[in-house]
Amino acid sequence: MSKMSWRIAPVSELSQLLVSAHLEKSSAVGSATIYHFQHEGQEKMAVALADGQALMIELQSLDTKRRRKIDGLHVPRTSYGEED
Could you tell me the CA-to-CA distances from 9 to 13, 45, 47, 49, 73 in Å, in that order? 7, 13, 10, 10, 45
Alpha carbon 33 to its chain centroid, in Å, reads: 16
Could you tell me the CA-to-CA distances from 46 to 19, 22, 76, 81 in Å, in that order? 14, 13, 34, 24
| pLDDT value for 4 | 92
Q: 1, 14, 15: which is closest to 55 by C-alpha?
A: 14
Residue 10 reports pLDDT greater than 70: yes
Q: pLDDT band at 2, cuts 50/70/90?
A: confident
Q: How far apart are CA 44 and CA 4, in angstroms?
A: 10
Question: What is the tens place of the pLDDT at every residue in 35-74?
Answer: 999 999 999 999 999 999 999 999 987 665 555 555 555 5
